[in-house]
């Protein structure tokens, strides 16, 4: 009984839209033209089309690079490092530790679109601050978004999202009692051993949770890339989420866009199962 | 979607319909028998919402004036204006979501006339025949203009300023490049020769801007790909069968032109990733930091006032028609421009029409088109002395005689999506022109159905 409100909310905001997307993916519904007025049921046509769509392989690959680069390598590792440093600083009562803490948090509390525009202001070829600085130094401007599009969006996303992992790990680190370290120190364990034997095992369950949530949110990242490169140049930064949006709202094919969204949902569920199993096995 | 078309009325829908009819009767308006644009106005009441995008800032005062004038005519009528300060592309997506959803929609909308087919087929807009047939001013619109806003035998929108495009050439840049101030391209490939000369000799000026990819929005199609296909003697749609052409020698040549432009470094790759690249490109052309740009005729208007200088613009910006590959007759791309529609879901269509008729008066049409330069849609507005005094507008109006028009086909929106992909792939160097042409045919088949695509 206690779960009823949660179940209601879930069905309202998650199950309902998912079912709608699933249904729409079986139609040729469009935003314009005759298919907008009278959409037809087309069975699995959209799924067949997706499998034979050469762009789909590209966007899946782009998504993998983006998730691995910005979530797993960037946010996860950087978040963990920052949390360790901050925890260490707090345990030693370094006062200035609040400054990096606040800086990282600030990146996170911005609405994504603002974060996106901040980076546009950095990278922009003509008016961006990076190129203004380079030009002042006598070095020619660099086409950041044209030459290193994927790296550019990955860096922006790491900057944007690291605070989340950092907060989670910081919380977990605070639950480790100081006397464990004291005891280890008395036993003659060096810093590395203390980290390996005590800190890391305590973080393992929370690490799975952090990985799961950042993978999923990064997989669905769309506003940041849209603001920075809109998937370009060509399809160099077109990820699955952006592809679904472009098909649905730029090519006006709602049915096909929904198909891509459904596949994305399935991939997310697969990630979730994988991570949860992994965390249970280790816990 | 299906439910709305269902012939069986639910009890609730029936009651709602009755209630709505009751309101209309109570207001004393009989929707079909008393057209409101005629000399003797019927009584109009209720509220209408006029929704329109504007980034330039020229339109709002005319919209507000029309709203005020209309309210003065009909004391019981309220006109709400909804100005959206976003690009027309973003506005269109937003509007489509509202129109396809179940909620309230604006009564009057303001979208490009090239969207007529897809909006009409979707059932979003109302035919205006019964209104224009009683509208005295309609006789001032040339037949070609009327045809431009007709689809399947019906009139769907009222235009006011027609679209045309120019190839803008900076005289100062071409002079520095050693080609002289009066240089114009002899044929389409000569544009690239001019750009190459600028690239080699004038390092501070971007040689050329050729829109590509999704970032270029509709400009990728209307200001770049489509005129190139025409320049190489091809078509994008087969007029007799109404089928879109997926692959043809002209399409391959157009894409090869893209390839030569981008691999030669003649057009900046930033166009592919910049948000609204046209904003930067128009500004640079006006400032003399870009040499060659094929763009809307209205863009010239932006170079008349600060931060630009009117005299400098007149001195340095040359404008010519788009050349062809053979050096044959050059052309421009015509279009009905941004037009006013009445939505099919509007509950107060008579009042919505009355707004459109009020707005499109001779005076407003002349004044706005001087400010935001377009050839006028109603020919009597071209007789206004202030309009005639503008050489640029006279030239633009004359250029329409050489205009080719993008056909009003309901699939054009989806085709633009495929064009963006094809040009983006070539410009980014991901594909050769021939491969991209093959993919363009496949993409079109996927997007609009294999039966609607042919190859030549």
pLDDT tens for each residue of A73-131: 899 999 999 999 998 888 888 888 888 888 888 888 888 889 899 998 999 887 889 99
The beta-carbon neighbor of A32 closest among B122, B272, B420 is B122
Give CATH superfamily name and number for B165-334+408-455. Answer: Periplasmic binding protein-like II (3.40.190.10)
CA distance B229 to B257: 10
Picking from A37, A120, A125, the nearest residue to B121 by CB comes out as A37
Backbone angles phi, psi at A181, to 5 degrees: -65, -40
- Nearest chain B residue to A24 by CA distance is B1
Cβ atoms of B269 and B427 within 8 Å: the answer is yes
Q: Which residues of B sit within 8 Å Cβ distance of A?
A: 1-2, 5, 93, 96-97, 100, 115, 117-119, 121-124, 213-215, 268-270, 272-275, 280, 410-411, 413-414, 417-418, 420-421, 424-425, 427-430, 439, 446-447
Question: Treating both helix axes as pointing N-terminal to C-terminal, what angle do B412-427 and B249-263 enclose, rounded to 10 degrees?
Answer: 40
A41 by DSSP, 3-state: which?
strand
The CATH number for B2-156+336-405, chosen from 3.40.190.10, 3.20.20.80, 3.90.1150.200, 3.40.50.10240, is 3.40.190.10
Copy the structure tokens of residue A100. 């990096």
**d(C-alpha B378, C-alpha B142), whole Å:** 7
**CB contacts < 8 Å between A and B, how many?**
124
Chain B closest-CA separation from residue A137 CA (Å):
18
Nearest to A232 among B273, B418, B429 (CB): B273
Interface of A with B in 151-190 (CB under 8 A): none
| Residue A10 Cα, gap to closest chain B Cα (Å) | 23
CB distance B337 to B344 below 8 Å = no
User: What's the predicted TM-score (pTM) here?
Assistant: 0.80
CB B324 within 8 A of CB B330: yes
- How close does chain A come to B325, measured CA to CA in Å? 27
Listed by start position, the domains of chain B span 2-156+336-405, 165-334+408-455
A125 touches chain B (CB under 8 A): yes
> Least CA distance to A125: which residue of chain B?
B270
Q: How many CB atoms lie within 10 A of CB A164?
A: 18
- Which residue in the block uniquely carries the two structure tokens 């019981």? B76
Q: What residues in B contact A42, CB-CB < 8 Å? A: none
List Cβ neighbours of B232 (8 Å cut-off, separation of 6 or more): B188, B249, B250, B253, B254, B257, B324, B325
How high is the pLDDT of residue B30? 38
Cβ pair A32:B429 closer than 8 A: no
Nearest to B214 among A30, A49, A231 (CB): A231
d(CA B109, CA B63): 12
Neighbour count for residue B375 (Cβ, 10 Å): 26
Question: Is A154 within 8 Å of A119 (Cβ atoms)?
Answer: no
CA distance B112 to B372: 15
Omega cis (within 30) before A263: no
Query: Cα separation of A89 and A83, whole Å?
Result: 10
Does residue B125 contact residue B255 with C-beta atoms inside 8 Å?
Answer: no
* pLDDT for position A108: 86
pLDDT at B24: 34
Distance CA A196, CA A241 (A): 38
Nearest CB to B269 within list A49, A228, A233: A233
- The closest CB to that of B272, out of A29, A228, A233, belongs to A233
* B44 Cα to chain A: minimum distance (Å): 30
Instruction: Return d(Cα B130, Cα B32) in angstroms, integer.
Output: 8
Q: Which residues contact B376 (CB under 8 A, 6 or more apart)?
A: B160, B161, B162, B365, B366, B369, B382, B387, B397
**Partner residue opposite B272 with nearest CB, options A49, A146, A249:** A146
**Do A249 and B413 count as a contact with CB atoms less than 8 A apart?**
no
CB of A233 within 8 Å of a chain B CB? The answer is: yes
> Would you put residue B83 in left (φ > 0), alpha (ψ -120 to 50) or beta?
beta
Query: Do the chains contact at A236 and B428, CB–CB below 8 Å?
Result: yes
Residue of A nearest to B429 (CA): A234
Contacts of A274 (CB under 8 A, 6+ apart): none
Query: B97–A31: do the CB atoms touch at under 8 Å?
Result: yes
- How many Å lie between the alpha carbon of B156 and the closest alpha carbon of chain A? 14
Separation in Å, CA of B393 to nearest CA in chain A:
32
ipTM over 0.85: no
Give the Cβ contact number of residue B134 at 10 Å: 15
Task: Please tell me the predicted confidence (pLDDT) of residue B438.
Answer: 95
Give the span between the Cα atoms of A70 and A61, in whole angstroms: 14
Q: Do A36 and B425 touch (CB under 8 A)?
A: no
Would the CA dihedral through B429, B435, B441, B446 be positive or negative?
Answer: negative
Tell me the nearest-neighbour CA distance from B270 into chain A, angstroms.
6
Query: Residues for chain B: how many in total?
Result: 456
Burial B191-230 (b: 16+ CB within 10 A, else e): bbebbbbbbeebeebbbbbbbbbbbbbbbbbbbbbbbbbb
- The count of C-alpha atoms lying within 13 angstroms of the C-alpha of B288, restricted to the half-sphere facing its C-beta, is 15
* Residue entry with tokens 């937003």: B94
- Interface check for A33 against chain B (CB to CB < 8 A): the answer is yes
User: SS3 breakdown of chain A: % helix, strand, coil, rounded to 5?
Assistant: 75, 0, 20
Between CA B126 and CA B155 the distance in angstroms is 9
Return the pLDDT at A239.
94
pLDDT at B29: 38
Is residue A117 less than 8 Å (CB to CB) from chain B?
no
Q: Which member of A125, A234, A253 has the closest CB to residue B428?
A: A234
The span from the CA of A64 to the CA of A70, in Å, is: 10
What SS3 class is residue A2? coil
**B123 contact residues in A (CB cutoff 8 A):** 36-37
Nearest Cβ partner for B270 among A31, A146, A230: A146
User: Computed from CA positions of residues B86, B92, B94, B99, in that sequence, does the dihedral angle turn out positive or negative?
Assistant: positive
pLDDT, one tens digit for every residue, chain B (456 residues): 333 333 333 434 433 433 333 333 333 333 333 444 444 456 889 999 999 999 888 899 999 999 999 999 999 999 999 999 998 888 999 999 999 987 889 999 999 998 999 999 999 999 999 999 999 999 999 888 898 899 999 999 999 999 999 999 999 999 999 999 999 999 999 999 999 999 999 999 999 999 999 889 889 999 999 999 999 999 999 988 989 999 999 999 999 999 999 999 999 988 888 878 899 999 999 999 999 999 999 899 889 887 898 899 999 999 999 999 998 899 999 889 999 999 999 999 999 999 999 999 999 999 999 988 899 999 899 888 888 888 899 899 888 888 888 877 888 888 998 999 999 999 999 999 999 999 999 999 988 889 999 998
CB contact (8 A) between residue B417 and residue A246: yes
Euclidean distance between CA atoms B65 and B359, whole angstroms: 8
Q: Is the pLDDT of residue A8 over 50?
A: yes
| Cβ–Cβ below 8 Å for A232 and B214 | yes
B182-220 per-position pLDDT tens digit? 999 999 999 999 999 999 999 999 999 999 998 898 899
Structure tokens at B74: 């009909």
In tens, the pLDDT along A173-209 reads: 888 887 887 888 888 888 888 888 888 888 888 888 8
Q: Is A251 on the interface with B (CB under 8 A)?
A: yes
- Would you call A32 and B96 a contact, using CB atoms and an 8 Å cutoff? yes
Q: Does A272 touch chain B (CB under 8 A)?
A: no
CB contact under 8 A, A146 and B100: no
Chosen from B214, B282, B284 to mutate, greatest number of chain A CBs within 10 A: B214
Q: What is the 3-state secondary structure (H, E, C) of chain B?
A: CHHHHCCCCCHHHHHHHHHHHHHHHHCCCCCCCCCCCCCCCCCCCEEEEEEEECCCCCCHHHHHHHHHHHHHHCCCEEEEEEEECCCHHHHHHHHHHHHHCCCCCCCEEEEEHHHHHHHHHCCCECCCHHHHCCCHHHHHCCHHHHHHCEECCEECCEECECECEEEEEEHHHHHHCCCCCCCCCCCHHHHHHHHHHHHHHCCCCEEEECCCCHHHCCHHHHHHHHHHHHHCCCCCEECCCCEEEEECHHHHHHHHHHHHHHHCCCCCHHHHCCCCHHHHHHHHHHHCCEEEEEEECCHHHHCCCCCCCHHHHHHHEEEECECCCCCCCCEEEEECCEEEEEECCCCCHHHHHHHHHHHCCHHHHHHHHHHCCCCECCHHHHHCHHHHCCHHHHHHHHHHHHEEECCCCCCHHHHHHHHHHHHHHHHCCCCCHHHHHHHHHHHHHHHHCHHHEEEC
Strands B154-155 and B150-151: antiparallel
pLDDT at A89: 87
Q: Are A258 and A21 in contact (CB under 8 A)?
A: yes
Q: CB–CB of A252 and B428 under 8 A?
A: no
Q: Best of A23, A36, A239 to disrupt the B interface by mutation (most B CBs within 10 Å)?
A: A36
Task: For chain B, say whether A34 makes contact (Cβ under 8 Å).
Answer: yes
Neighbours of A151 (CB within 10 A): 15
**Peptide bond before residue B307 is cis, with ω within 30 degrees of 0:** yes
Q: Pull the structure tokens for residue A50.
A: 């997706």
> What is the least distance, in Å, from the CA of A252 to any CA of chain B?
7
Chain-chain contact of B270 with A39 (C-beta, under 8 angstroms): no
For residue B68, give every residue at least 6 positions away whose Cβ sits within 8 Å of its Cβ, in sequence order, or none.
none
Supply the DSSP symbol for A96.
Answer: G
Domain boundaries, chain A: 21-282
Q: Which of B1, B280, B421 sits opposite A126 (nearest CB)?
A: B280
Tell if the CB–CB gap between A235 and B117 is shorter than 8 Å: no
Answer whether A166's CB lies under 8 Å from A83's CB: yes
Token representation of residue B236:
């994008």
Looking at the DSSP assignment, which residues form a beta bridge with residue B168? B293, B319
If DSSP codes are grouped into helix, strand and coil, which group holds residue A27? strand
Q: What is the CATH number of domain A21-282?
A: 1.10.3720.10
User: Which residues, at least 6 apart from B164, have a Cβ–Cβ distance to it below 8 Å?
Assistant: B296, B297, B332, B333, B334, B335, B374, B375, B396, B399, B400, B403
Chain A, nearest residue to B271 by Cα: A233
| The token pair that represents A263 in the structure block | 């596949």
Backbone angles phi, psi at A63, to 5 degrees: -65, -40
For residue A137, the 8-state DSSP code is T
Instruction: Using CA coordinates, name the residue in chain A closest to B93.
Output: A249
Residue-wise pLDDT for A38-85, tens only, equals 889 999 999 999 998 888 999 999 999 999 999 988 999 999 999 999
């Amino acid at each position: 009984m206690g779960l009823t409100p949660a179940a209601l909310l879930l069905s309202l905001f998650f199950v309902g839209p998912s079912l709608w997307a699933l249904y729409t993916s079986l139609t040729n519904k469009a935003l314009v033209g005759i298919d907008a007025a009278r959409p037809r049921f087309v069975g699995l046509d959209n799924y067949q089309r997706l499998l034979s769509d050469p762009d789909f392989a590209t966007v899946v690959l782009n998504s993998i690079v983006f998730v691995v680069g910005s979530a797993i390598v960037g946010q996860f590792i950087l978040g963990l490092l920052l949390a360790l440093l901050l925890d260490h600083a707090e345990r030693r009562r370094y006062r200035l530790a609040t400054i990096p803490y606040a800086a990282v948090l600030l990146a996170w509390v911005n609405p994504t679109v603002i974060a996106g525009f901040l980076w546009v202001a950095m990278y922009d070829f003509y008016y961006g601050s990076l190129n203004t600085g380079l030009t002042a130094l006598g070095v020619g401007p660099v086409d950041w978004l044209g030459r290193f599009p994927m790296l550019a969006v990955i860096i922006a996303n790491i900057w944007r999202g690291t605070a989340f992992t950092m907060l989670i790990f910081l919380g977990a680190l605070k639950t480790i009692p100081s006397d464990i370290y004291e005891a280890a120190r008395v036993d003659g364990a060096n810093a590395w051993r203390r980290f390996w034997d005590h800190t890391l095992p305590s973080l393992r369950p929370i690490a799975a949770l952090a990985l799961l949530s950042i993978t999923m949110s990064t997989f669905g990242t769309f506003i940041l890339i849209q603001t920075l490169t809109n998937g370009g140049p060509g399809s160099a930064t077109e990820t699955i989420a952006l592809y679904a949006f472009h098909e649905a709202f730029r090519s006006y094919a709602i049915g096909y866009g929904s198909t891509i969204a459904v596949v994305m949902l399935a991939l997310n569920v697969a990630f979730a199962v994988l991570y949860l199993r992994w965390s249970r096995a280790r816990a | 979607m299906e439910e709305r078309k269902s012939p069986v009325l639910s009890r609730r829908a029936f009651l709602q319909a009755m209630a709505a009819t009751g309101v209309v009767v109570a207001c004393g308006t009989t929707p079909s028998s008393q057209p409101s644009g005629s000399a003797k106005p019927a009584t109009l009441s209720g509220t209408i919402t006029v929704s329109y995008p504007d980034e330039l800032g020229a339109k709002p005062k005319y919209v507000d004036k029309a709203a005020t004038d209309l309210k003065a005519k009909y004391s019981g009528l309220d006109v709400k204006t909804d100005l959206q300060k976003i690009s027309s592309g973003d506005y269109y997506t937003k509007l489509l979501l509202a129109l396809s959803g179940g909620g309230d929609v604006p009564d009057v909308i303001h979208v490009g006339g090239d969207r007529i087919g897809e909006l009409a087929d979707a059932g979003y807009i109302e035919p205006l025949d019964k209104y224009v047939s009683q509208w005295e001013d309609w006789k001032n619109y040339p037949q070609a203009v009327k045809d431009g806003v007709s689809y399947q035998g019906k009139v769907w929108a009222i235009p006011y300023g027609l679209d045309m495009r120019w190839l803008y050439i900076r005289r100062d840049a071409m002079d520095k490049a050693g080609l002289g101030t009066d240089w114009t391209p002899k044929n389409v490939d000569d544009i690239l020769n001019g750009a190459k000369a600028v690239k080699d000799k004038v390092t501070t000026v971007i040689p050329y801007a050729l829109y590509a990819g999704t970032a270029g929005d509709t400009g990728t199609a209307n200001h770049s790909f489509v005129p190139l296909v025409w320049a190489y003697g091809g078509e994008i749609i087969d007029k007799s069968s109404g089928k879109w052409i997926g692959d043809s020698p002209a399409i391959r040549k157009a894409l090869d032109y893209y390839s030569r432009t981008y691999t030669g470094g003649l057009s900046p790759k930033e166009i592919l990733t910049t948000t609204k690249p046209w904003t930067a490109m128009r500004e640079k052309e006006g400032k003399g930091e870009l040499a060659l740009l094929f763009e809307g005729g209205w863009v010239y208007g932006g170079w008349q006032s600060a931060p630009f200088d009117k005299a400098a613009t007149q001195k340095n910006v040359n404008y010519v028609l788009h050349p062809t590959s053979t050096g044959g007759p050059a052309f421009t791309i015509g279009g009905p421009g941004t037009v006013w529609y009445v939505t099919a879901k509007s509950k107060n269509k008579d009042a919505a029409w009355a707004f459109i008729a009020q707005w499109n008066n001779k005076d407003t049409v002349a004044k706005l088109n001087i400010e935001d330069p377009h050839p006028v849609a109603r020919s009597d507005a071209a007789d206004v002395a202030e309009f005639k005094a503008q050489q640029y507008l006279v030239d633009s109006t004359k250029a329409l005689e050489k205009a080719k028009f993008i056909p009003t086909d309901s699939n054009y929106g989806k085709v633009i999506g495929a064009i963006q992909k094809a040009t983006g792939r070539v410009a980014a160097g991901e594909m050769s022109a021939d491969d991209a042409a093959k993919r363009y045919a496949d993409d079109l088949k996927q997007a609009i159905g294999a039966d609607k695509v042919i190859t030549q």
